[in-house]
Structure 1
Amino acid sequence: MNRKEFVEKLNERVKLIRTEYAFNQEQMAYILGISKKTLVEIEKGRSSLGWTGAVAVCTLFSESEILSGIFGGAPTDMIIALAFEENEPRYPKTMGGKVWWRILEEYDGYKLQQNIVSQHYRILNQENKRMRASFHYEQIQKQFDELRRDQ
């Protein structure tokens, strides 16, 4: 998945999310910080939330069953993977992937993992700190291979 696909999925379902929360268009537009006219255009497929609007919808409606169905749980990890695809941040320590992750490869304490729901990938270091995250297996595999060569 890329940012464009992510935004498109939300554009297509913003009305369902609004209905799920029992908001009218005026209320939903206010919550999202857009005009009612813009919301109507989005719901009719004539306009788009854009990246920022899509992230806002996911953040504000994080308990949505519609969103859980689209992304296989809370979309936070997916947003982070898409947002930092080109510029990886310094991530805090994780729990090592004991619940939502399967280990694809391990080398010298480094782990290449895949999320069992969203299917995106990450690399953890020996201290279980996230080093990289991506939806692109080839890209993350290349980065994992580079770790091996650097050792």
Structure 2
Amino acid sequence: MDQEELIDIVSQKIRLIRLEKEFSQEEMSKILGISKKTLIQIEKGRVAAGWNVVVTCVALFEESEILQNGLGEDSLEIVRLVTFNQIEQIVMKTMGGKIWWKEVEKRGEYKLQQNVVSQHFRIIDDSNYRWFSSFELEEAMLHLKYLEKKVEK
């Protein structure tokens, strides 16, 4: 997934998110920092939302079922991945991936998982802390091997 694809997905979902949260177009436009006219154009599919609008929408409505159905359980992680290409840090404790994730490989205390919606990969430890995220399987496998060797030392 790249920035353009993320913009398309969120642009297509903005109206549904607004309805899910029971906001008027006036309220939603103020929340997103755009004019009501621009919001209407986005909702009708005439224009795509700008990057700042997409990031704002994802950040403010990350718990939205509509957004999660389009991006998976951690939509902010998708924004970070699209922005930085990969994440190599312990971010936060996850729920372990029981719903949105399938296990690709396990090595020692680390599991490589793939998101069933966005198709991106992450590595979590046995305590469910996320250590790495990427859209590239090869990068994720290399990082999994690195973490495995680091633990062996």
TM-score tier (shorter): 0.7 to 0.9
Q: Give the match's secondary structure for 1:79.
A: helix
- Tell me the CA shift for residue 94 of structure 1: 4.4
AA at the equivalent of 2:144: F
Deviations 1:5-47 (A, max 9, x none): 1111111222232233343322211111112232233234343
TM value normalised by structure 1: 0.72
The alpha carbon displacement at 1:54 in A equals: 1.3
For residues 93 and 133 of structure 1, the distance between their equivalents in structure 2, rounded to whole angstroms, comes to 13
Q: 1:70 to 1:128 in 2, by over 3 A?
A: closer
Which residue of 2 is the match for residue 129 of structure 1?
Answer: 129
Unaligned runs of 5+ in 1: none
Letter in 2 for 1:130: R
Shift in Å, 1:147: 4.3
Structure 1 segment 98-109 matched on structure 2, within 5 A: 99-100=98-99, 101-109=101-109
Query: Could you say which residue in structure 1 is the equivalent of 2:92?
Result: 92
1:2-81 correspondence to structure 2 within 5 Å: 2-73=2-73, 75-81=75-81
Counterpart Cα distance in 1 of 2:128 and 2:73: 22
For the 8 Å contact 2:92–2:129, the answer to whether it is kept is: yes
> What TM-score results when the alignment is normalised by the length of structure 2?
0.72
**Counterpart amino acid of residue 139 in structure 1:** E
CA pair 44-134 structure 1, distance change in 2 beyond 3 A: same
* Aligned equivalents of 2:34, 2:120: Cα separation in 1: 31
Q: Secondary structure of the residue that 2:85 maps to in structure 1? A: coil
Q: Between the two proteins, what is the percent identity of the paired residues?
A: 41
CA–CA separation in structure 2 for the residues paired with 1:127 and 1:27: 40
Could you tell me which runs of 5 or more consecutive residues in structure 2 were left unpaired when the two chains were aligned: none
CA distance in 2, matches of 1:87, 1:32: 26
1:144 aligns to what? Answer: 144
Distance 1:16 1:116 in 2: 21
1:115 equivalent to 2:115? Answer yes
- The RMSD of aligned alpha carbons is 3.1
